[in-house]
Amino acid sequence: MLNIKKPALLLNSDICKRNIHAMAAKAHEQKVVFRPHFKTHQSAIISEWFREEGVTTITVSSVSMAQYFAQHGWKDITIALPVNLLEIEEINLLAAKINLHLLIESVETAAFLTEKLIAACGFFIKIDTGYHRTGIDVSNVVLISKVLEASKSPKLHFDGFLTHSGNAYHAKDKQELINIQHYASENLLRLKKNYLSQYPECIISVGDTPTCSQMPVLPGIDEIRPGNFVFFDVMQFILGSCTLEEIAVALVCPVVAIHHNRQEAVIYGGAVHLSKEQALLPPDPEPVYGLAVKWDRKNWDTTTVLGKVSSLSQEHGILSLTQTGCNLKPGDLVAVLPVHSCLTASLMKEYLTLDGEVIETMNS
Amino acid sequence: MLNIKKPALLLNSDICKRNIHAMAAKAHEQKVVFRPHFKTHQSAIISEWFREEGVTTITVSSVSMAQYFAQHGWKDITIALPVNLLEIEEINLLAAKINLHLLIESVETAAFLTEKLIAACGFFIKIDTGYHRTGIDVSNVVLISKVLEASKSPKLHFDGFLTHSGNAYHAKDKQELINIQHYASENLLRLKKNYLSQYPECIISVGDTPTCSQMPVLPGIDEIRPGNFVFFDVMQFILGSCTLEEIAVALVCPVVAIHHNRQEAVIYGGAVHLSKEQALLPPDPEPVYGLAVKWDRKNWDTTTVLGKVSSLSQEHGILSLTQTGCNLKPGDLVAVLPVHSCLTASLMKEYLTLDGEVIETMNS
């Protein structure tokens, strides 16, 4: 029985390990390199659970995160953010120690690295296959060739083409998700074919949890980089990537007030714990910030939904209660399944397992 | 010249001290108690700047925050969140050391405290004057009387009625803001009059930055509790509470990519730095997550707007660039004025002053 007094991020390690195993097994079966994104958990302890599944290659989203995991024995790391030129010193130190892979998407960055890199590095060209956040448009072979030209250096090794289909998060249905995946794959394959004679070892790296969890990997893809699947969350549930039972984390929060007249509870648990990420949970037209389920002081129970988090202040949350939720009273605890577990985990800085063990992260 | 390599929350301490002075002076002139909310800065060092203005009474949003400021010499603290009964031990320890004030809004909580409090405490009844987040409706005198009845204990001293007009943040214009302030004030005054013979010392406490910064305090109000004004932010600018020049914090971020074809830049700086708080900045119909201005490595310049943050991932942000912003290149830095400085400050955990001094917070 856990003695929780204030918001705590509970981790069901059995579910988490099952999620890791399932994705590792899928990558293994489909014969692709598994390079999970560690931005979701940011924890050396959880990273060991990946190692137990044979994982040796990982993805991170900052130089700081690469430093942290390198310190914890990870030797092959892709930093999946366009290179921050201001951290060239830190990049050189890392590249001297591990197999580091960077993302390049401009001639300026390629020229800068060609000049400033001391240790050898791999690099991917970041390709935009429809998300339009960043990367070179998949059709822009002129720019891609220029970047490859500007990257010619004994210190830079071309790894291949990398994309993140973040637009998968906006897919209206499974067919649209399939279309997004196929569009990315077909265009990346065509690109690879263009450059294969020059760069026979270049690969294609893709990765987002919706497609990696819902679909088989398409032929020709060499590497997948999903991250969120380690915990999943309400957003992935809405997208069809997981069941509620597969969500591995929940924010346990005290109830501090009940308003029966409007079927609402106030919880101690706000934007500084959950993040203000919101999602639409049809048929409800209003966005939610989390889904509150029963917490029996040992585990949470997704079959007993107590309410949805309908608004968030800095430290408060408002639950719109279900019929069952109306029995809550001040001093009770609820478990809130987060909308976006990556952000909630980053905010909470540590996990508490159901056995009461504290699991630290790089933010602890 | 500051050597910033990754997202850092810069604090202009001159602006911050001016903001503190202005609000302290206003409270002094209008003869109301100034009990600033410290949830915005969460820093013992910044709290000293309030002490220099004669402030001795403060507001916080959690027991943990009350513990932190009590450790730093603050002796009169209101915890402006309905009491978390699960932290009764911590509350008793605090109440034994300082003048602690709690918020009660139910008979259950009153009865619990009457039974469990060891040290003496003050309490406010939390009143809902239109925000509908929490509190007892201002017209519900039956429940208010019941709570007062259930709170009769030598350990509990009734301080008065407290409200937070969070609906001020949704006011369409100045007239609506005035209406919100007047509605709250008139109803609280009527309430106080009802109970004044029984509780001659009871006071009325109000507080939110939009009304406290834009309007005179209305007659009969005894105490104000604004918090955000210490830094202000883009949301307060939109609401008319401050000018852009009065915003005291900015997140300095490296530019990592430019997409000239769509007038966008990618910055290293995302939801884990700024928070996903968004606001509408008319006439633009799309929400923004921050406003990027020029950073000359010594200070930011609000007269040179480089773009708005139009979307945020975990560690990335997308800037929709102005004409001037189109001159940015990878390796440059920009200063992003946050939409909600309280959340950005909480995420960043520390400040860097323009003199290069690190200012810690309770989250450092």
Task: Provide mean pLDDT across the span A199-226.
Answer: 95
User: Is there a contact between B62 and A315 if contact means CB atoms under 8 Å apart?
Assistant: yes
How far apart, in whole angstroms, are the C-alpha atoms of residue B21 and residue A285? 44
Q: Is A82:B256 a contact under the CB 8 Å cutoff?
A: yes
Q: Does domain B13-230 have CATH number 3.20.20.10?
A: yes
DSSP B246: G
pLDDT (0 to 100) of residue A183: 93
Beta bridge partners of A306: none
Residue of A nearest to B319 (CA): A133
Read off the pLDDT of residues B201-214 as tens digits, 9 standing for 90 and up: 999 999 899 999 99
Q: Is A361 helix (H, G, I), strand (E, B) or coil?
A: coil
Number of A–B residue contacts, CB under 8 Å: 149
* Buried/exposed code over A289-318 (b: 16+ C-beta within 10 A; e: otherwise): bbbbbbbeeeebebeebbbbbbbbbbbbbb
Residue A105: partners with Cβ closer than 8 Å, 6 or more residues away: A82, A125, A126, A134, A135, A136, A147, B257
Record: contact B134-A316, CB cut-off 8 A: yes
Q: Would an 8 Å CB–CB cutoff place B140 in contact with chain A?
A: no
pLDDT at residue A172 greater than cutoff 90: no
Residues B237-294: tens digit of each pLDDT: 999 999 999 999 999 999 999 999 999 999 999 999 999 999 999 888 999 999 999 9
What distance in Å separates the CA atoms of residue B44 and residue B350, rounded to the nearest whole number?
Answer: 11
Tell which A residues from 236 to 295 touch B, by Cβ distance under 8 Å.
254, 256-259, 262, 266, 268, 271-272, 275-277
Which residue from B minimizes the CA distance to A82? B256
Interface of B with A in 196-235 (CB under 8 A): none
pLDDT at B286: 93
- Dist. CA A141–CA A146, nearest whole Å: 8
Structural contact between residues B68 and B362, judged by C-beta atoms closer than 8 angstroms: yes
- C-alpha to C-alpha distance for A142 and A106, rounded to whole angstroms: 12
Q: pLDDT band at A170, cuts 50/70/90? A: confident
- Of all residues in chain B, the percent with pLDDT exceeding 90 is 94
Q: CB-based contact (8 Å) between A83 and chain B? A: yes
The Cβ-side half-sphere exposure at A354, using a 13 Å CA radius, reads 16
CA–CA gap between residue A70 and residue B253 (Å, rounded): 24
Neighbours of B64 (CB within 10 A): 17
What's the 3-state SS for B89-124? HHHHHHHHHCEEEEEECCHHHHHHHHHHCCCCEEEE
Residue-wise DSSP of B185-197: HHHHHHHHHHHTT
Output DSSP code: residue A5.
Answer: -
Taking a contact as any Cβ pair under 8 Å apart, which residues of chain A between 318 and 337 contact chain B?
A: 318, 329-331, 333
Q: How far apart are the first and last CA of chain A?
A: 24
Over residues A264-281, mean pLDDT: 97
Phi first, then psi: give them for residue A336, nearest 5 degrees: -105, 120
| Distance between CA atoms of residues B289 and A169, nearest Å | 19
Burial class of A152 by CB neighbour count within 10 A (0 to 12, 13 to 18, 19+): exposed
Structure tokens at A333: 């605890």
Out of A6, A105, A271, name the one closest to residue B64 (CB).
Answer: A6
Is the Cβ pair A343, B87 closer than 8 Å?
A: no
- For B:103-122, CB contacts with A below 8 A are 105-106, 108-109, 112
Q: Per-residue pLDDT for A282 more than 90?
A: no
Give the CA diameter of chain B.
Answer: 71
| Best to test chain B binding among A105, A133, A138 (most B CBs inside 10 Å) | A133
ipTM of the complex: 0.96
Using left for φ > 0, alpha for ψ between -120 and 50, and beta otherwise, residue A31 falls in left
pLDDT digits (tens, 9 = 90+) for A101-127: 999 999 999 999 999 999 999 999 999
d(CA A230, CA A240): 15
pLDDT at A218 over 90: yes
**CB contact (8 A) between residue A268 and residue B62:** yes
Residue A304, token pair as written in the block: 């007993």
Q: How far is CA A14 from CA A19, A21, A260, A354, B136, in A?
A: 9, 10, 37, 10, 43
Give the pLDDT of residue A171: 85
Query: Would you state the structure tokens that stand for residue A203, as one six-digit string?
Result: 């690969």
User: Which residue is closest to A268 within chain B, CA to CA?
Assistant: B84
CB < 8 Å to A134, chain B: 256-257, 259, 266, 316, 318
**What distance in Å separates the CA atoms of residue B345 and residue B8, rounded to the nearest whole number?**
10
**CA angle, B14 then B20 then B21, to 5°:** 85
Tell me whether the CATH fold assigned to B13-230 matches the one assigned to B242-360. no
Q: How far is B48 from chain A (nearest CA, A)?
A: 23
Indicate if the pLDDT at residue A166 is higher than 90: no
Asked if A81 lies within 8 A of B109 by C-beta distance, the reply is no
Regarding pTM above 0.95, the answer is yes
B170 contacts chain A (CB < 8 A): no
The separation between CA B299 and the C-alpha centre of its own chain, rounded to angstroms, equals 24
| Residues A306-340: tens digit of each pLDDT | 999 999 999 999 999 999 999 999 999 999 999 99
Degrees, nearest 5: CA angle B202-B208-B213: 110
Secondary-structure percent of chain B, ordered helix, strand, coil, rounded to 5: 35, 30, 35
Q: Is B71 helix (H, G, I), strand (E, B) or coil?
A: helix
User: How many Å lie between the alpha carbon of B29 and the closest alpha carbon of chain A?
Assistant: 30
Distance from CA of A181 to the nearest CA of B (A): 20
pLDDT greater than 90 at residue B330: yes
- Which of B82, B268, B271 is opposite residue A81, by nearest beta carbon? B268
Res A45: pLDDT: 98
Work out whether the CA dihedral A340, A166, A103, B328 comes out positive or negative: negative
Q: Dump pLDDT digits (tens) for A298-308.
A: 999 999 999 99
Report how far apart the first and last C-alpha atoms of chain B are (Å, whole number): 24
The CA distance from B103 to B127, in Å, is 10
Q: Any idea which residue has 């999946």 for tokens?
A: A80
Query: CA of B30, closest CA in chain A: separation in Å?
Result: 29
Give me the residues paired with residue B265 across strands.
B258, B319
**Mean pLDDT estimate for chain B:** 96
CA B314 – CA B300 distance, rounded (Å): 24
| B138, B252, B272, best to mutate vs chain A, most A CBs in 10 Å | B272
DSSP letters, B211-237, are: HHHHSPPPTT--EE---GGGT--HHHH
Write down the CATH number for the domain with range B242-360: 2.40.37.20
C-beta atoms surrounding B285 within 10 Å:
7
Contacts with B146 (C-beta within 8 Å, 6 or more apart), sequence order: B107
Instruction: Check: CB of residue A315 under 8 Å from CB of residue B39.
Output: yes
**Given an 8 Å threshold on Cβ–Cβ distance, is A313 in contact with B106?**
no
Which residues lie below 8 Å from residue A127, measured CB to CB, with a gap of 6+? Answer: A135, A136, A137, A138, A144, A161, A162, A163, A187, A188, A191
Residue pair B192/B161 in contact (Cβ under 8 Å)? The answer is: yes
Q: Is the pLDDT of residue A351 over 90?
A: yes
Strands A316-321 and A300-312: antiparallel
- Closest by alpha carbon to A9, among A357, A362, A332, A257? A357
Q: Is the CB of B330 less than 8 angstroms away from the CB of A271?
A: no
Average pLDDT over residues A185-208: 95
Residue B161 reports pLDDT greater than 90: yes
List CB contacts (< 8 A) between A258 and chain B: 106
CB-based contact A319:A295 (threshold 8 Å): no
Choose among B61, B254, B258: nearest Cβ to A84. B254
CA distances from A232 to A15, A23, A224 (A): 10, 12, 17
CA distance A290 to A306: 11
Confidence class for position A83, pLDDT limits 50, 70, 90: very high
Q: Which residues of A touch B61 (CB under 8 A)?
A: 314-315
pLDDT band at B149 (very low <50, low <70, confident <90, very high): very high
Query: Residue type at B15?
Result: I
Q: Which of B63, B106, B314 sits opposite A330 (nearest CB)?
A: B106
List chain A domain ranges.
13-230, 242-360
Measured in whole angstroms, how far is the alpha carbon of residue B243 from the centre of its chain?
A: 17
Of A333, A363, A337, the C-alpha closest to A348 is A363
Mean pLDDT (whole number) for A58-82: 98
Residue A168 has pLDDT above 90, yes or no: no
Cis bond upstream, residue A287 (ω within 30): no
